[in-house]
Structure 1
């Protein structure tokens, strides 16, 4: 009896979870917001549409763009925290604002002695491996460099 109750509670809990990838094209914006909650950012799109950005940073490794047409219907869902999207940033061209619009707020903002500016760090998955993308932004707000490092995860075994 206890197992049945636990299984039913789990099923009910999972059905209440809204997952961006499960949202269907054509779904009204109001339904998506009701299911997903408040977006991290909202940006206007050309043609009268809008993009809702849902970020799982700092703990997660996903940022979703949910694009809606002018009729407020879902057109597409895209996970944008990818190595290719960070590699597409142009040093000296992209800015703090373009990075924010694409990826949302970073998981971490740091400074180091060898760079005059902020380093925005995002947690990503690269072929299933946890990595970090570090976007170096100078004091004028211009992207100067993007670097990648492996994310150090906690050891599963205690030190000896």
Structure 2
């Protein structure tokens, strides 16, 4: 006999939720192990948002942008095997990754993919590119300042106050 609270509707919702959770886990780039083949990565994660050639193989980029909080780069060697998986939108990595004065727009896209938005400010002659990310569950922005020649001038980070403005309680 079926439990009274186990209605067909509840059972379908439970099944749908379980499938959604399994799909989310399966499509999480951080679960890809080194040595995994390219075809397995594509099967597990689906089509990347961008593919770049590298000196040693290729990079498959999986961006949750433009409004998401993660950009994961899956790097493959010349044999098509994963040797690195890294979630780039991590405040602890910015200082060692971003190269002001050296980086160009192509380097920014290679690392972070398309920005959430591009804006201008009166205090800088160029464009400010921004990405959303989470820092210990706090919504933040990475801002990269690109000069008129396409070179990265500098970067900074700040709080994402848009979410706070939408709260109504």
Scaled to the shorter chain, the TM-score interval is 0.7 to 0.9
Is structure 2 residue 77 aligned with structure 1 residue 69? yes
Return structure 1 stretches of 4+ with deviation > 3 angstroms: none
Q: Distance in 1 between matches of 2:118 and 2:28?
A: 27
Q: Distance in 1 between matches of 2:67 and 2:140?
A: 13
Give the gaps of 5 or more residues in structure 2. Answer: 1-6
Do the aligned residues in 2 keep the contact of 1:29 with 1:68 (CA within 8 Å)? yes
Is structure 2 residue 98 aligned with structure 1 residue 94? no
Deviates more, 1:12-21 or 1:139-148: 12-21
TM-score by length of 2: 0.83
Question: Residue 20 of structure 2 aligns with which residue?
Answer: 13
Structure ID, larger Rg:
2
3-state SS of paired residue (2:125):
strand
Superposition RMSD in Å: 1.8
Superposed CA offset, 1:68-125 (max 9, x none): 1222122221101112332232322222111111111111111122211111001122
Question: Residue 32 of structure 2 aligns with which residue?
Answer: 23
> Aligned pairs, how many?
157
Question: Residue 141 of structure 1 aligns with which residue?
Answer: 150
Any residues of structure 2 matched to 1:72-83 within 5 Å, and which? 72-83=80-91
3-state SS of paired residue (2:107):
helix
Question: Residue 56 of structure 1 aligns with which residue?
Answer: 64
Do the aligned residues in 2 keep the contact of 1:119 with 1:134 (CA within 8 Å)? yes
Give the gaps of 5 or more residues in structure 1. Answer: none
